[in-house]
Amino acid sequence: MATKVEVNILAELEPLTVPISELTLDPKNARQHPDRNIQTLMLSLTHYGQRTPLVANSKTKIVLKGNGLLMAAKELGWDRIAVVWVDDDDETAKAYAIMDNQSGETSEWDLPNLKDILEELDTGAFRMDLTGFLETEIADLMTQLREPGSGLTDDDAVPEVGEQICKPGDLWVLGEHRLLCGDVTMSENVEKLMGGEVGDIVFTDPPYNVNYGSTMKDKMRHKVSKSNAGRKIMNDNFPSKLAYYQFLYQAISAFRPYVKGDVYMCSSSSELHTLQKAFVDSNGHWSTFIIWVKNTFTIGRSNYQRQYEVILYGWFEGSPHYWSGVRSLGDVIKQEQATDVWEFPKPSKSPLHPTTKPVSLVQRAIKNSSRVRGIVLDLFGGSGTTMIACETLDRRCYMMELDPHYCDVIIERWERYTGKEAVLLEATNASG
């Protein structure tokens, strides 16, 4: 029992007080009261006092409403508490006890309004734990309701670039972000990129092993784009599934020590099992495949034209991965972000990179799995979508890209979006 504190009951309720020893906790109470709940109620009683009476059966002395409050009062060493007595039969008593709890469950937060109120209270002088929320829960709420920022260009705009600037081994700083032109399968490159930091989440889009850029359709697209080199993807045409597996395994093993949270890895449906095996073999815990449903299909040789892509979602075994998304039944029903089917339109144009993801899709993963100012790793940077998503959500993106051409695209895209200039931190020819 905690140290006894002074009984704090509103004066208007004092006539209703009875000795706590006269009351009996409901032995069939279907509502559990874990330690955190009792601690919160103790804080409420201590600071605000008892403001609503318990409800108890006058014949059995069993508490029908307020069992948790009674438990908290006992922990505080109170000797009395305010009670309203009812003369219910057994059936009515049981039904009322359930109704009292369930009626509260059917209410719901107006989250934007709650956010505004919490921000008004958060002056620095007020104890925010007196709201009943933990500091981390408030931070998570602010994260989920944070409106993405905007830039000087469209979020999904990918620019053309001219003469190549980046070289293998170059390390760039783009505001709060970092970009290394290098090979992720080499652990020393990941170490160089991270600079002693550890990432909070990985969102990355490795090559699909489908040889993008070799089809007639791709060649026609090259003619449309001034930057023909922009269509080809390095490491996208392995001689066998085994070779592709080994590539993925080496990459995942190289970045594994540098992430402590969730991992999102995009894949083609034809190679998702190869990716899953490489991830699990690298001590990864596979949780689910997220299905990205597009607004249009891609013409191919299959009988059924494909209108989705797959994203592996998981974390590394033993990792204290973070989740700020919703889990309760009501929230899952209301918020599609809590399911593993994500519906986002494709970027309207992606002539410079064949697998460009919409920024809004990446934003969902980042918001669900990281806090503001967290570090997001993308080891296959592509056209830089993850960096733009991080820029809009006040996260730091640590990105790697093998192809110097696409590094140029990433830098140009970020500079146009922000109006700022990237800085070459380190220029080398090592570990390309």
- Residue 257, domain CATH: 3.40.50.150
- Residue 22, domain CATH: 3.90.1530.10
- Indicate whether 74 and 174 sit together in one domain: no
- Indicate whether 61 and 191 sit together in one domain: no
Query: Distance between CA atoms of 335 and 325, rounded to whole angstroms?
Result: 10
Laid out side by side, the sheet with 259-267 consists of 341-343, 284-298, 306-316, 259-267, 199-204, 375-378, 396-401, 177-181, 171-174, 423-426
For 151-167, what is the mean pLDDT?
A: 90
- Indicate whether 178 and 98 sit together in one domain: no
- Indicate whether 263 and 376 sit together in one domain: yes
* Residue 265 within a domain: yes
- Indicate whether 236 and 346 sit together in one domain: yes
Domain that holds residue 18: 11-105
- Indicate whether 284 and 412 sit together in one domain: yes
- Indicate if the pLDDT at residue 84 is higher than 50: yes
What is residue 232's predicted lDDT score, i.e. its pLDDT?
A: 59
413-416's contacts with Cβ under 8 Å and 24+ in sequence apart are 413/153, 413/157, 413/158, 413/159, 413/383, 413/384, 413/387, 413/388, 414/174, 414/175, 414/177, 414/384, 414/387, 414/388, 415/174, 416/152, 416/153, 416/157, 416/159
Query: Distance between CA atoms of 109 and 33, rounded to whole angstroms?
Result: 21
What is residue 313's predicted lDDT score, i.e. its pLDDT?
A: 97
* Residue 129 within a domain: no
* Residue 2 within a domain: no
- Indicate whether 213 and 161 sit together in one domain: yes
- Indicate whether 93 and 19 sit together in one domain: yes
* Residue 1 within a domain: no
- Indicate whether 315 and 179 sit together in one domain: yes
* Residue 369 within a domain: yes
* Residue 130 within a domain: no
Of 90-94, 222-226, 338-342, the poorest mean pLDDT is in 222-226
* Residue 81 within a domain: yes
Query: Distance between CA atoms of 370 and 27, rounded to whole angstroms?
Result: 41
For 112-140, what is the mean pLDDT?
A: 91
* Residue 155 within a domain: yes
- Indicate whether 271 and 349 sit together in one domain: yes
In Å, how far are 127, 376, 385, 387 from 178, measured between CA atoms?
A: 37, 10, 14, 9
Please tell me the total count of domains within the chain: 2
Q: Model confidence over 7-51: pLDDT tens digits?
A: 999 999 999 999 999 999 999 999 999 999 999 999 999 999 999
CA torsion through residues 28, 31, 34, 40, sign: negative
- Indicate whether 255 and 373 sit together in one domain: yes
- One-letter amino acid at 405 equals H
- Indicate whether 219 and 271 sit together in one domain: yes
Query: Distance between CA atoms of 319 and 279, rounded to whole angstroms?
Result: 14
Which of 105, 130, 162 terminates a domain? The answer is 105
Q: Model confidence over 208-257: pLDDT tens digits?
A: 776 555 444 444 444 445 554 444 566 556 778 899 999 999 999 999 99
Q: Model confidence over 317-338: pLDDT tens digits?
A: 998 878 876 555 445 445 555 7
